Chain A
Amino acid sequence: AQSVTQLDSHVSVSEGTPVLLRCNYSSSYSPSLFWYVQHPNKGLQLLLKYTSAATLVKGINGFEAEFKKSETSFHLTKPSAHMSDAAEYFCVVSVSPGTYKYIFGTGTRLKVLA
């Protein structure tokens, strides 16, 4: 069965410093993995996706993630945090083959300090 584990429920960084949000996955098949961001009282916005092409995936707003099969990880990084990055981040795995429903991690709340 597929699942994702987000290792940190809260992360605080200072503005201008690097961001690292950790995600480990479990999948019996080659997974499709995603990172979504949710700002307060807003919907879900896709940051980036991995679908078995390049292992280093670049997304929007300067975010990127690296798929590491040997470590079953898909950590999200950004070189320099901005105040507007403060939000909830979800790591997601797509269940396949089969239904393709999304399974969400429990989320990481990113706080950016001035």
Chain B
Amino acid sequence: AAGVIQSPRHLIKEKRETATLKCYPIPRHDTVYWYQQGPGQDPQFLISFYEKMQSDKGSIPDRFSAQQFSDYHSELNMSSLELGDSALYFCASSHGWGELQFFGPGTRLTVL
């Protein structure tokens, strides 16, 4: 069965650079969630989209923005990267708002 696809799987950036993370939900899933997992930490909710509209916002820095496109894929844009942004970024999708979330493999971002 198709799963959530995240790209790239690994990304290395310098401080103050910009990064874009992509998430392709399971086909027919209309809801996307982004989570950030710092080293040795539990995943923290960043932001979610339902039917291309932002549905909730968590502890997402103002330097980050995200959107969901007409094909339901989502992109997380991160600017002015800081060392503390180094983390594993998970995307999850669900078929309907409030339904079971299926997680992607994550994108590991390293900021040098």
Q: How far is the CA of A46 from the CA of B100 in the complex (A)?
A: 10
Asked if B98 and A43 make an inter-chain contact with CB atoms under 8 angstroms apart, the answer reads: no
**Which of the 9-residue segments A12-20, A69-77, A97-105 touches chain B?**
A97-105
> Within A45-67, which residues are at the interface with B (CB < 8 Å)?
45-46, 49
Q: How far is the CA of A112 from the CA of B103 in the complex (A)?
A: 26
The tally of CB-CB contacts under 8 A between chains A and B is 49
Minimum CB distance partner of A4 in chain B: B42
| B17-61 vs A, Cβ < 8 Å mask (1 yes, 0 no) | 000000000000000010100000011110010000001101000
| A78-100 vs B, Cβ < 8 Å mask (1 yes, 0 no) | 00000000000010001011111
Residues of chain A at the chain B interface (Cβ within 8 Å): 36, 42-46, 49, 90, 94, 96-107
What 15 additional pairs, Cβ within 8 angstroms, besides A46-B103, A99-B55? A43-B106, A44-B90, A44-B103, A44-B106, A46-B100, A49-B100, A99-B48, A100-B99, A101-B58, A102-B45, A102-B92, A102-B101, A103-B45, A104-B43, A104-B44
